Amino acid sequence: MIQAYSSSVRNDQLIARWLITCAVVIFGMILLGGVTRLTDSGLSMVEWNPIMGIIPPLSQADWQVLFLKYQQFPEYRKINLGMSMSEFKFIFMFEYLHRVLGRLIGLVFFIPFVYFLLTKRISPQLLPKLVLMLILGGCQGLLGWYMVKSGLVDVPHVSQYRLTAHLGLAVLIYGFIVWTALDLINKTSGQPAKLGKAASFLSGLIFLMTLTGGLVAGTKAGYAYPTWPLMGDSFIPAGLYEMSPAWLSAFENITTIQFNHRMFAYLIAILMVSFSVIALRSNISSKVRIGVYSMLALLVVQISLGISTIVFHVPVATAAAHQVGAVALLTATLFVSHSLLNRH
């Protein structure tokens, strides 16, 4: 059994490098997903064909067929009526690239996985985690299509619940991969583990925060109240939690959705700064110290991007940067958490 796989520092580093590569590509995928959403491109491909769909339209006739198919759906008829072929090609491109990159991530994960498995480099503790990543990755593709389907209907907008699930699962898979890679290469000891628990709590909050961000994106709530720090005329806008039951407002009322996202940001900022002050005053290693500073810097960047997104009426570049800013902040927070928990 000891000979079943060859465990070595070198193997761990190799696998960690592969996992980090996957995480980097997924980071890019989350960026591309944000752009696809922000350019209203997501409903341009009205069919789902996991294998043959990778072949792009190669001739003018192919494009005509695809455009005609799109024209059968409510988004064209109700919103994009009269759209030109070149405009269609533009929105098609983002959705197509998003799907191609999705398949590519599958390969970047699967091929090395099989190689490491056959060369017995995967430890028995690691194997179930990698298999779970593979399953979650497959689910993410299905979830993407499940989301798109919700917009190919009479009211041509994808459900904010499905959009949030698709974004949430992406961030979850990303975090899981980063954490697993850290387990292989980030060995620490003697760090104040209580702070590790606090940092893990912060990581959890940031994950929840990305979900509330998904709701903002899914309802286009970011276009409302392009003012900061006030929302329109007041800090606490009229019409909060007015649906019945009241909790439904947190998911479906635009005013409440944006208000909650703002309040959640203030909460995270206060907790994260407090945590950092305590951590930097404690006896932590210089590596963790760098992690804490990075986390703080990314917090400032992320809040600035969020405010800019609102105030400048959701420019694509700013809003997409805000989406991946969350993932970058999560990465720094996960690194700090992992380091302080003394996992090895």
Partner 1 sequence: MKTLLNLIAVVLFSSLASVSFAGDAAAGKAKSVTCAGCHGTNGISNNPMWPNLAGQKQAYLASSLQMYRDGRRKNAMMSAMAKNLTDADIANLAAYYSSLK
Helices (H) and strands (E) in the chain, counts: 11, 0
What minimum distance in Å lies between the beta carbon of 81 and partner 1?
Answer: 8
Q: Given the rule CB under 8 A, which of 96-104, 237-245, 264-272, 332-340 is the region that contacts partner 1?
A: 237-245
What minimum distance in Å lies between the beta carbon of 52 and partner 1?
Answer: 31
Helix, strand, coil percent values for the chain (each to nearest 5): 75, 0, 25
Instruction: Identify the three-state secondary structure at position 102.
Output: helix
The amino acid present at 207, given as its one-letter code, is: F
Query: Which CB, 80 or 203, lies closer to partner 1?
Result: 80
Q: How many other C-beta atoms are found inside a 10 Å radius of the C-beta of residue 181?
A: 22
Which DSSP symbol is given to 54? Answer: G
Which residues 11-40 are close enough to bind partner 1 by CB under 8 A? 40
Query: Which CB, 13 or 84, lies closer to partner 1?
Result: 84
Query: Which CB, 115 or 228, lies closer to partner 1?
Result: 228
Cα–Cα distance, 92 to 244 (Å, whole number): 39
Stretch 215-234: interaction string toward partner 1, x if CB under 8 A: ----xx-xxxxxx----xx-
Which residues 101-160 are close enough to bind partner 1 by CB under 8 A? none
Q: How many other C-beta atoms are found inside a 10 Å radius of the C-beta of residue 311?
A: 13
Token pair for residue 17? Answer: 């490098």
What minimum distance in Å lies between the beta carbon of 250 and partner 1?
Answer: 13
Query: Which CB, 54 or 79, lies closer to partner 1?
Result: 79
Which residues 6+ apart lie within 8 Å of 240 measured at CB? 249, 253, 255, 256, 259
Which residues 57-96 are close enough to bind partner 1 by CB under 8 A? 79-80, 83
Which residues 305-334 are close enough to bind partner 1 by CB under 8 A? 313-314
What minimum distance in Å lies between the beta carbon of 289 and partner 1?
Answer: 40
Do residues 196 and 342 touch, judged by C-beta distance below 8 A? Answer: yes
Q: With CB under 8 A, what is the number of residues at the site for partner 1?
A: 24
Query: Which CB, 64 or 227, lies closer to partner 1?
Result: 227
What minimum distance in Å lies between the beta carbon of 144 and partner 1?
Answer: 22
Query: Which CB, 191 or 255, lies closer to partner 1?
Result: 255
What minimum distance in Å lies between the beta carbon of 237 and partner 1?
Answer: 7
Could you give the dihedral angle defined by the CA atoms of residues 12, 13, 19 and 20, in that order, rounded to the nearest 10 degrees?
150
Query: Which CB, 11 or 44, lies closer to partner 1?
Result: 44
Closest CA to 72 of 157, 147, 152, 158: 152
Token pair for residue 323? Answer: 């989406």
Query: Which CB, 113 or 225, lies closer to partner 1?
Result: 225
Do residues 75 and 87 touch, judged by C-beta distance below 8 A? Answer: no
Token pair for residue 76? Answer: 């064209």
Q: Does 255 bind partner 1 (CB under 8 A)?
A: yes
Query: Which CB, 296 or 314, lies closer to partner 1?
Result: 314
Phi, then psi, of 234 in degrees rounded to 5:
-145, 160
Do residues 157 and 51 touch, judged by C-beta distance below 8 A? Answer: no
Token pair for residue 155? Answer: 């009211």
Among 28, 50, 106, 237, binds partner 1 (CB under 8 A): 237
What minimum distance in Å lies between the beta carbon of 338 and partner 1?
Answer: 39
Q: List interacting residues with partner 1 (CB under 8 A).
A: 40, 79-80, 83, 219-220, 222-227, 232-233, 237-239, 242, 252-255, 313-314
